[in-house]
Amino acid sequence: MARAAGAVLGVEVVPQAVEDARENARRNGIENAEFFCGDAGEAAVMLAKKGEKIDVVVVDPPRKGLAPDVVEAAASMRPGRIVYVSCDPATLARDVARFAPLGYCPVRACAVDLFPGTAHIETVCLLSKLHAKQHIEIEVKMDEMDLTSAESKATYEEIREYVLEHTGLKVSYLYIAQVKQKYGIIERENYNKPKSEDTRQPQCPPEKEKAITEALRHFGMI
């Protein structure tokens, strides 16, 4: 990547990681990369204030994701693209939602199984600057993206199929979401809240709640 760029600037809060990056650049003959030890959010703010022209921003945060000020600082530099490397789909979905009002939308994502035998996954997501006259609107269902580590073990459809196969009961996504919320797994606005104040939301019957709970136990989600 560095060889294809005019210049690369790396910021890392861990001093040893900075030294390793410099050594890797030296060994690979990379002469257009600079690495600094410091807070990524503060560095982004500094670059934005200097008016530095950044074409691409690459972020690779820990499992907790990006702090809100880092999201704002990255967007304030107005790069054409942001590459987000994540080890937690839940915080990735949260941060992608934070980038949206700042003018960036996800255009491509790739999942890589770096943690075989676990519920964890590494994801690389490309966000692009949204131009008012040159963009395509896409609908992304957050129930497919917004995953907690527990939720990633089974999809809604897998839970429905398990319940139907083992009990003969048909359960809706709404009922599954209600039971998940009861166990603190998720809280989804689109499933858990009525569309209007006057709408009464059906509640999951006890027998179906019991069946869904058993399915969640089966998939190791509770």
Active-site residue list: 87
Q: Residue 155: name the closest of 219, 106, 102 by CA.
A: 219
Residue 114 in contact with residue 122, Cβ under 8 Å?
yes
Could you tell me the end-to-end alpha-carbon distance of the chain, in angstroms, rounded to an integer? 42
Which two structure tokens, joined as six digits, stand for 61? 């945060």
203 burial type by CB count under 10 A (0-12 exposed, 13-18 middle, 19+ buried): exposed
Q: Compute how many other C-beta atoms are within 10 angstroms of the C-beta atom of residue 214.
A: 14
Position 4, amino acid: A
Q: Compute how many other C-beta atoms are within 10 angstroms of the C-beta atom of residue 115.
A: 11
Mind giving me the DSSP string for 39-88?
Answer: -HHHHHHHHHHHT---SEEEE---TT---HHHHHHHHHT--SEEEEEES-
Cα 174 from chain centroid?
A: 23
Residue 34 in contact with residue 10, Cβ under 8 Å?
yes
Residue 201 in contact with residue 130, Cβ under 8 Å?
no
